[in-house]
Structure 1
Amino acid sequence: MAPSAEQPLLTVEGLTKRFGARTACRDIGFSLWPGEVLGVVGESGSGKTTLLGCIAGHVTPTEGQVWYETREGDRIDLASLSEAERRRRLGNDMGFVHQNPRDGLRLDISAGGNIGEPLMRAGMRHYGTIRSLAAEWLGRVEIDAARIDENPRRFSGGMQQRLQIARNLVTKPRLVLMDEPTGGLDVSVQARLLDLVRQLVADLGLAVILVTHDLGVARLLAHRLMVMQDGRIVETGLTDQVLDDPHEPYTQLLVSSVLPI
């Protein structure tokens, strides 16, 4: 049975994560729809990165479920799968963009190899086709295809981040998790990267969970916003509504602490 556009791609129910006496996430619940970008904002320590880690499988939840609708129409609980089972069931259907691109790249192989490797994992074997697609994706993320054989260590931070995005998107996943994708970049580089990400998300119809502390980034990319404080969701709604007319005191403080967007 094929997945239905009328069903959420991802549904999180009662997600809780405790580290000893500290609760990093507490009873989190939400749904994410195909083609939707959900921004998760909050101060450092609010639980947003732990939440993303639980969905990605980097962190095991203490309680709760993370339901995912596969391409075949099966509804599986990601929180209950082993790492091997998760990889087998999802394959290249989920991407993860790290804040530090070096955490998401293979620095011992070329730029083209970084893009080609996920294609090989997906079963592609023809070298010419793989190389052609790698060159095409370098162009899509605004990297000169002539640099296909260069090592990514020679790239700037912004170029490494764009290469990491290409590596994640080349297999056309339906869900991409982004952890502070513009963090640590110069303002001018951030703006260029944000325009690129917004265009790729729209072109590919991606569902995205975007963790960011930058409300300007959230406004530009996210359709809907979820505000976290002390491991809880304190406010959620359409991005412009939350940022222009915040209802909760914490959200009001968060918005007023930055320059007008």
Structure 2
Amino acid sequence: MTDEPLLRVRSISKFYGNRIGCSDISFDLYPGEVLAVVGESGSGKTTLLNCLSTRLLPTSGSVSYRMRDGLFHDLYRMSEAERRFLMRTDWGFVHQNPSDGLRMTVSAGANVGERLMAVGQRHYGDIRATATDWLGRVEISADRIDDQPRAFSGGMRQRLQIARNLVTGPRLVFMDEPTGGLDVSVQARLLDLLRGLVHELGLSAIVVTHDLAVARLLSHRMIVMKDGHVVESGLTDRVLDDPQAPYTQLLVSSILQV
């Protein structure tokens, strides 16, 4: 990890009238680091993720991203076009429901190829070859390249969504409950795949999950949210093995009792 963070989050808050989405959240994310944001439904973790990824305008606070030229840019001072370009190239976003992150009526190869075209690739043969390679990396057989995602299982769709996001070599990936809704055996394989790719590519990632096992497997650090506030943060193993906040203790003990 370098000395300079990739993402600087300062006092991010989002309010819906009198209701708190998230309140006064600050942290730095470093290159190659995976941060898990955990908490129960309604804790504010998805609101925070959407604010960080510019899908939702925060009420207050700032999010700065270090571009490839080494300079920090305030995401909310950038134009809409600049932010969209960032989302297509330097960032990825893995949705809980893969159909939200895929075009269901075009082929698997076209889903991956679209991202390559967004960064300027135009040679059909090269795009197809890269798409085939990436399908293999996410354990989808090359003979499925012309099949549409709607012909795939839930686990295959999620793997395809991951390939679509990672093919452009992004530096930062946002993941919203990436294993949610999948069978336990499918979850385990997907987590192994994700962990391997994150390590191999040196990705930074912010992973929202209610599953502490997912957080332990994927993340270096974690923040625990309750009612829109961060109640505890630290190295993942430390937080899970020696939770300090009563709410975190409750979360951890409830897992152990299952």
Measured against the shorter chain, the TM-score band is over 0.9
2:67 maps to what in 1? Answer: 70
Q: Deviations over 1:114-142 (max 9, x none)?
A: 00000001000000000000000000000
Flag structure 1 segments of 5+ consecutive residues without an equivalent: none
**1:9-55 residue CA offsets vs partner (Å, 9 max, x unmatched):** 00100100011111111100000000000000011111100000001
Give the Cα separation in 1 of the matches to 2:131 and 2:5: 31
Displacement over 4 Å in runs of 4+: none
The amino acid that maps onto 1:107 is M
Match of 1:215 in 2: 212
| Residue in 1 that maps onto 2:38 | 41
Match of 1:213, as an amino acid? H
Q: How far is 1:56 from its partner? A: 1.1
| Per-residue Cα deviation, 1:75-108 (whole angstroms, up to 9, x for no partner) | 1111333432212356410000000000000112
Moved more, 184-193 or 71-80: 71-80
- Tell me the equivalent position of 1:55: 52
Matched, 1:179 2:179: no
CA distance in 1, matches of 2:114, 2:245: 45
- Name 1:110's counterpart in structure 2: 107
* TM-score, normalization by structure 1: 0.96
Q: Is the 8 A contact 1:10 1:69 kept in 2?
A: yes
Q: Any idea what the Cα deviations from partners look like across 1:127-183, whole Å, max 9, x if unmatched?
A: 000000000000000000111001110000000000000000000000000000000
Question: Which residue in the other structure is 1:124 paired with?
Answer: 121
| RMSD over aligned Cα atoms | 1.3
Decide whether the 8 Å contact of 1:54 with 1:79 is kept in 2.
Answer: no
Other structure's SS at 1:18 match: strand
- Aligned residue for 2:240, secondary structure, equals helix
Shift of 1:245: 0.4
Q: Which moved more, 1:129-138 or 1:230-239?
A: 230-239
Choose the corresponding residue for 1:15, options 12, 31, 38: 12
Partner SS, residue 259 of structure 1: helix
Secondary structure of the residue aligned to 1:112 is: helix
Aligned residues: 258
User: 2:191 is matched with which residue?
Assistant: 194
Q: Percent identity?
A: 66
Q: How far is 1:260 from its partner?
A: 6.5
SS of the counterpart of 2:214? helix
**CA–CA distance in structure 2, aligned partners of residues 89 and 230 of structure 1:** 30
5+ residue gaps, structure 2 = none
Question: How far apart are the structure 2 equivalents of 1:190 and 1:218?
Answer: 13
Q: Distance in 2 between matches of 1:217 and 1:202?
A: 15
Return 176-185 or 249-258, whichever deviates more: 249-258
**Conserved in 2, the CA contact under 8 Å of 1:236 and 1:242?**
yes
TM-score (norm 2): 0.97
Q: 1:151 aligns with which of 127, 148, 157?
A: 148
Is the contact made by 1:225 and 1:237 (CA closer than 8 Å) also made in structure 2?
yes
State the shift of 1:60 in Å.
0.3
Structure 2: distance between partners of 1:110 and 1:90: 21
